[in-house]
């Protein structure tokens, strides 16, 4: 076991994001981690794989982030449009 281990806080500082963003990546399976005692740790190898430069056909972190933001904006706009029709409860119940 010669790999380096990083705390959630260290990963957040390294990528200049919040701890919540790191936990979100972990929950989504985008950033593998190990449990040490009660705490989560990210291995150096996992970090290297996570920041691997994008190649043709591969998404980078920035691509994934931009796609999530665009998806959120589209959902927000669609929810506002549905709300205007008075069918918000019906439509939103179908898409939790």
38 and 85 inside one domain: no
How many distinct structural domains can be found in the chain? 2
- Looking at residue 3, what is its pLDDT? 76
What average pLDDT values come out for the chain (96 residues) when binned by 10 residues?
84 93 91 90 89 63 73 63 54 40
66 and 89 inside one domain: yes
18 and 44 inside one domain: yes
Residue 11 CB coordination number (10 Å): 24
What pTM, to 2 d.p., does this model score?
0.54
Buried b or exposed e, range 26-65, using 16+ CB within 10 angstroms: beeeebebeeeeeebbbbeebbeeeeeeeeeeeeebeeee
Q: Among 17, 34, 52, which residue terminates a domain?
A: 52
Range of the domain at 27: 1-52
């Amino acid at each position: 076991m010669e790999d380096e281990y990083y705390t959630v806080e260290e990963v957040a500082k390294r990528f200049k994001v919040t701890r919540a963003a790191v936990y979100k990546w972990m929950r989504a399976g985008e950033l593998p981690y190990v449990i040490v005692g009660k705490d989560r740790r990210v291995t150096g190898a996992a970090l290297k794989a996570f920041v691997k430069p994008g190649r043709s056909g591969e998404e980078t972190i920035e691509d994934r982030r931009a796609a999530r933001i665009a998806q959120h904006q589209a959902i927000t706009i669609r929810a506002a449009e549905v709300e205007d029709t008075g069918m918000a409860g019906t439509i939103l119940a179908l898409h939790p």
